[in-house]
Amino acid sequence: MEWREFKLFNIKCVICISVLALPLLTVGCGSGSGGGETPVAGTTEVTTTTTNTVNTTTVKDGTVVDTAALISLGEKIFNDTSLSTPVGQSCAGCHTASAGFDDPDNSNATSLGADGGSIGNRNAPTASYAAHIPDLQTIQRPVAGGGTVAVVIGGQFLDGRAESLEEQAKGPFLNPVEMANVSESSVIDKLKTAVYVSDFTALFGADILDDVNKSFNYIADAIAAFERTELFSPESSKFDQVQDGSAVFTVAELNGLNLFNGKAQCNLCHHTSGGVEVFSNFEYKNIGVPENTVLVSALGGGFIDNGLGDITMLATDNGKFRTSNLRNIANTSPYMHNGVFTTLTEVIEFYNVRDIAPLVVAEVSDNVDNVGNIGELNLTPGEINDLVSFLQTLTD
């Protein structure tokens, strides 16, 4: 079984944080390169311990369970289409392994809900490598000339509204345009009739389903444990093979990588310092993505997505979204929070000419980022193709 070969991320970091109780951002992952004030991927509260015989996981409320059984349960829940209203939609429906853990249905900018008609207001991001997104936190970043500036990083969903992978996993069950259950207890009622319900009670206790809130939390713990397995973050792409010396880039791919880290300046935001490279620094930016008129009219007109600004209620955060992870990006069309672009070439063309007349009109015109040469990169068509070739090497 695939999930048995799981690997847990940054366990060393998790342990050093919980034991030494150091402030998160002064702890480096110490994985050779990087280090420094590196955000730690994954959650800070879940610890996994290996003894000679059994792996155990301490879930969020402190309960210690068998890790393999927890993961197996999480896999069953993730794929269970009977936990939606009406039945028929599972997490896997919008995060399908063969589509890079993204929605395989590209006919809409965003995903269809369990009712087959409702559409969401966001394009589904890949759930692959989501376990590497650090929990939502504010860090103090040194600025040139002294002092620091507070920067929000991490959190799940494109606006960071779920602090952790566990919190994220609870959202879709109750989201009216996703799995559309009216309450936690309606989810638990469905769980009671699932074929694997005995796995759940074996792990958490015979009477556990009488406690709706605890049971709902354990569902999230199980899903998150499954999402932390190697299945979601296999590091099996050509990019990884080049890193370990078992493959070489073509001339176009190598040129694309050099452009990514050079002339095109993608690495100003799409670079992870420390831990697994998922091509995001997890910061929030408004890059001036244009409105998706098709989505806006499907939603009834007048819709503006303020992203982080709607969570923090700060006008200075309007239009900001978390910098996307670029793993499996070739499989996750359409692109951006509103699915406005359908190809990677269109995405790069946007970064290339955003600020050159005729200007691209942003969905949210405040706070648009102007870091480096973003918006006027002066890339040739051949260079754009090479960047696409490089991005295609990130597919597992």
Interacting residues with ligand HEC (CB under 6 A): 89, 91, 93-95, 111, 113, 120, 122, 124-125, 127, 130, 156-159, 168-169, 172-173, 178-179, 223, 264-266, 268-270, 285, 287, 289, 321, 323-324, 326, 329, 332, 335-337, 344, 347-348, 351, 369, 371, 374, 387
- In the bound complex, what is the minimum distance in angstroms from residue 58's beta carbon to ligand HEC? 20
Instruction: For residue 213, give the amino acid letter.
Output: N
- In the bound complex, what is the minimum distance in angstroms from residue 278's beta carbon to ligand HEC? 10
Count the Cβ atoms, other than its own, within 10 Å of residue 275: 21
CB 286 within 8 A of CB 369: yes
Kindly tell me the sign of the dihedral angle through the C-alpha atoms of 380, 386, 387, 389: positive
**Cα 234 from chain centre:** 15
Closer of 27 and 384 to ligand HEC (Cβ): 384
Residue with tokens 């080049």: 242
Tokens linked to 262: 């050079």
Closer of 29 and 326 to ligand HEC (Cβ): 326
CA angle 22, 19, 131 (to 5 degrees): 80
Q: How far apart are CA 362 and CA 365, in angstroms?
A: 5
- In the bound complex, what is the minimum distance in angstroms from residue 334's beta carbon to ligand HEC? 7
Closer of 38 and 332 to ligand HEC (Cβ): 332
Closer of 28 and 237 to ligand HEC (Cβ): 237
Tokens linked to 247: 């493959």
- In the bound complex, what is the minimum distance in angstroms from residue 228's beta carbon to ligand HEC? 11
Closer of 78 and 204 to ligand HEC (Cβ): 78
Q: How far apart are CA 314 and CA 286, in angstroms?
A: 13
- In the bound complex, what is the minimum distance in angstroms from residue 360's beta carbon to ligand HEC? 13
Q: How far apart are CA 328 and CA 392, in angstroms?
A: 8
Q: How far apart are CA 120 and CA 138, in angstroms?
A: 28
Closer of 173 and 200 to ligand HEC (Cβ): 173
- In the bound complex, what is the minimum distance in angstroms from residue 250's beta carbon to ligand HEC? 18
CB 238 within 8 A of CB 391: no
> Could you tell me if residue 336 is left (phi over 0), alpha (psi between -120 and 50 degrees) or otherwise beta?
left
- In the bound complex, what is the minimum distance in angstroms from residue 336's beta carbon to ligand HEC? 4
Closer of 70 and 266 to ligand HEC (Cβ): 266
Q: How far apart are CA 220 and CA 374, in angstroms?
A: 38
Closer of 28 and 154 to ligand HEC (Cβ): 154
Rg (CA), the chain: 21
- In the bound complex, what is the minimum distance in angstroms from residue 13's beta carbon to ligand HEC? 20
